Amino acid sequence: MIERRSAYAELSPSQRIIMTPGPVEVDPRVLRAMSYPILGQFDPEFTGLMNETMQLLRELFQTKNRWAYPVDGTSRSGIEAVLISLIEPGDRVFIPIYGRFGYLLQEIAERCGAEVVTVEKEWGTVFDPGELASCIVRERPAVVALVHGETSTGRLQPLEGIGAACREAGALLVVDAVATLGGVPVETDAWQLDAVIGGTQKCLSIPAGMAPITYNERVERKLLARKRVERGLRADGNERDRRGEASLPAGSPIRSNYLDISQLQDYWSPARLNHHTEMTSMLYALREGVRLALEEGLEARFARHRKHESVLVAGLAAMGLKLYGEPACKLPVVTCIEIPDGIDGEQVRAVLLRSFGIEIASSFGPLKGRIWRIGTMGYSCRQTNVLHLLGALEAALLYAGYKLPAGSAVRTALRMYDEMHDKAEEGLP
Ligand SMILES: Cc1ncc(COP(=O)(O)O)c(C=O)c1O
């Protein structure tokens, strides 16, 4: 008998304060939900939880859509699933780009064989919705894909009016709300968004690994048309269900199995046609995370995100730091700071992480080395985190030789929190 001993110590990750634009700290109640025993994927208790999750997601997405469920994979799996299921080779796809994640939409659409038309805005700004509406009516694309909250630049693209323009042009509007869902209003029905993709690891404070999506009957019609061309048995052994699809013009087959949302919706329908094996523990996490968001109340949750953002911004200003980007379109859950001249941004981040256990983010592409990005998202968006971060950042900057009025950031933040607390006690908004 050979005795085997593991060369590795028991897993024991460090406690961190995570103030990046995702992933952020996971709510302990979500972590607890993930530790429960698994159920079989066709156990009625489990399919009951799947149905409850769909209803919770409808409320979160502010929609009456029939379809609201997660794609198993990180947020981009949801984006890719929607785009690959909607875009037929040769389709014209219009993508307004104002940061890194617009390029992700472009890349995925190109891989789907689309004829992609883009317009670009300088990073740090967003599009005027009226300007986009005119482009859409002129270009008459089959699909418009747009990022709602651009984490690379910390900007929020207003969406009102764009859905109406898409309907006028006969286009489907797909929105990446990965960074905004659960932290900033995402009004799927009121804004006439045809398909929306959210993220778990940001404002919902659930680990990365699922992408909640919702889509309406305009999208479903296109899916069913593409399904009509399929023949015979599916890979899962089920007969293809073509009832009700005969009146639709046939489209080309969807070029993915895992990300084919016409098959995923069969799995999430009462028919429960088997597709993949559902991620039980992640579904528990999603159900609990979304339940917690709704229990807090969407309006209250959005207000909490704005409150801590306002204190953070005031504290940074008191330190003499300058924010990056156009203030009018600032994304409330991401704050971008210009790294002061002569300061090594990576060294400051390293001090924050190593000595204070606080993580903030660097940046991508043209902004690399120029800005830091701070997330105030979900469970990470709370008073103690903002105060710890302001104090630690001040210390790290002083240590790096930056001249600032010591103590003023935390003092400003404490005063603001006290005033907010007094107002709340008096019942004032
Ligand atoms: C706006 C936006 N879209 C898409 C993604 C991709 O998400 P994931 O890394 O979960 O695939 C991110 C991730 O940071 C994001 O911020």
pLDDT digits over 161-175, tens only? 999 999 999 999 999
Please determine, for residue 231, whether its predicted confidence score (pLDDT) is greater than 80.
Answer: no
Q: Is the minimum distance from the CB of 80 to ligand 1 under 6 angstroms? A: no
Poorest-confidence range of 20-29, 128-137, 250-259?
250-259
Query: Is-contact 213 196, C-beta < 8 A?
Result: yes
Pocket flag, ligand 1, residue 76 (CB < 6 Å): yes
Asked whether residue 90 carries a pLDDT value surpassing 60, the answer given is yes
pLDDT at position 118:
98
pLDDT greater at residue 163 or residue 247 = 163
- State whether residue 117 is helix, strand or coil: strand
What pLDDT is recorded for position 426? 79
In a 13 Å sphere around the CA of 59, the CA atoms on its Cβ side amount to: 17
With vertex at residue 88, the alpha carbon angle to CA 86 and CA 90, rounded to the nearest 5 degrees, is 140
> By the 8 A CB rule, do 136 and 162 touch?
yes
Q: Is the pLDDT of residue 236 over 70?
A: no
Best CA proximity match to 196, nearest among 18, 305, 31, 71: 71
Residue 147 CA, closest ligand 1 atom number: 1
Q: Which of 166, 124, 169 lies closest to 146 in space, CA to CA?
A: 166
Say which residues have a Cβ less than 8 Å from residue 46's Cβ, sequence separation at least 6.
Answer: 39, 40, 278, 280, 283
Q: How far is the CA of 30 from the centre of ligand 1 (A)?
A: 20
298-318 and 383-399 helices, crossing angle to 10°: 20
Give the Cα separation of 321 and 339 in Å (integer).
8
Given this model, what pLDDT does residue 248 score? 55
Q: What is the DSSP string of 308-348?
A: HHHHHHHHHHHTT--B-S-GGGB-TTEEEEEPPTT--HHHH
Higher pLDDT, 162 or 237: 162
What is the per-residue pLDDT for 381? Answer: 98
Q: Which tokens belong to 107?
A: 């890349």
Cα 116–Cα 122–Cα 128 angle in degrees, nearest 5: 75
Whether the bond between 141 and the residue before it is cis, its omega within 30 degrees of 0, is no
CB 409 within 8 A of CB 319: yes
What pLDDT score was predicted for residue 354?
Answer: 98
Which pLDDT does position 243 carry in this prediction? 41
Q: Which of 47, 81, 70 is nearest to 258 (CA)?
A: 81
> How do the domains of the chain map onto residue ranges?
28-293, 297-425
Which has the closest alpha carbon to 112: 90, 131, 127, 143? Answer: 90
End-to-end alpha-carbon separation of the chain, Å? 71
- Could you tell which of 24, 74, 75 is best to mutate to test the pocket of ligand 1, judged by most ligand atoms within 8 Å of the CB? 75
Q: What is the mean pLDDT of residues 57-69?
A: 98
* Whole-angstrom distance, CA of residue 174 vs CA of residue 79: 9
Q: Which atom of ligand 1 is nearest to the CA of 201?
A: 10
Residue 74 Cβ inside 6 Å of ligand 1? The answer reads: yes
d(CA 174, CA 95): 10
Q: What is the mean pLDDT of residues 239-256?
A: 65
What is the reported pLDDT for 247?
56
28-293 domain in CATH 3.40.50.80?
no
On the question of pLDDT at 246 being above 90, the answer is: no
425 vs 248 pLDDT, higher one: 425
Q: Which long-range contacts (CB under 8 A, 24 or more apart) does 238-242 make?
A: 238/266, 238/273, 238/274, 241/266, 241/271, 241/273
pLDDT score at 186: 98
Task: For Cα atoms 305, 24, 70, give the angle at the middle one, nearest 5 degrees.
Answer: 95
Alpha helices in 339-382 (DSSP H): 345-356
Residue 200 CB–ligand 1 contact under 6 Å: no
Instruction: Check residue 242 and give its pLDDT.
Output: 46
The predicted-structure confidence for 274-309, as pLDDT tens digits, reads as follows 899 999 999 999 999 999 999 999 999 999 999 999
Is the distance from the beta carbon of residue 151 to the nearest atom of ligand 1 less than 6 Å?
yes
Residue spans of alpha helices (H) in 241-297: 261-268, 280-296
Helix (H, G, I), strand (E, B) or coil at 368: coil
Q: What is the mean pLDDT of the chain?
A: 94
pLDDT at 159 over 90: yes
- Backbone φ and ψ for 92, nearest 5 degrees, come out as -85, 125
pLDDT score recorded for residue 244: 42
76 vs 178: CA distance, rounded Å: 9
Does ligand 1 lie within 6 Å of residue 147's CB atom? yes
pLDDT, tens digit, for every residue of 378-395? 999 999 999 999 999 999
| Distance (Å) from CA 181 to ligand 1 centroid | 12
- For ligand 1, the distance from its centroid to the CA atom of residue 154, given in whole angstroms, is 13
Q: Say yes or no to pLDDT of 245 above 60.
A: no
Which segment of 68-72, 169-173, 223-227, 249-253 scores lowest on mean pLDDT? 249-253
Q: Hunting for tokens 């908004």 — which residue is that?
A: 429
Least confident of 39-53, 182-196, 232-246, 368-382: 232-246
Contact 262, 85 (CB under 8 A): yes
Question: Percentage of the chain surpassing pLDDT 90?
Answer: 90
Provide the pLDDT for residue 229. Answer: 56
pLDDT at 239 over 70: no
Residue 228, pLDDT score: 58
Q: Count the Cβ atoms, other than its own, within 10 Å of residue 72.
A: 20
CA 237 – CA 193 distance, rounded (Å): 34
Specify the pLDDT at position 240: 55
8 A C-beta contact, residue 129 and residue 181: no
Q: In what order do the strands lie in the sheet with 210-215?
A: 67-72, 210-215, 195-198, 172-177, 143-147, 92-97, 115-120
Between 249 and 287, the higher pLDDT residue = 287
Give the whole-angstrom CA distance, residue 372 versus residue 305.
19
Question: Is there a contact between 168 and 139 (Cβ–Cβ < 8 Å)?
Answer: no
CATH of segment(s) 297-425: 3.90.1150.10
Residue 178 CB less than 6 A away from ligand 1: yes
State the pLDDT at residue 251. 79
Q: For residue 1, name the pLDDT band (cuts at 50, 70, 90).
A: low
> Rounded to 5 degrees, what are φ and ψ at 414?
-60, -45
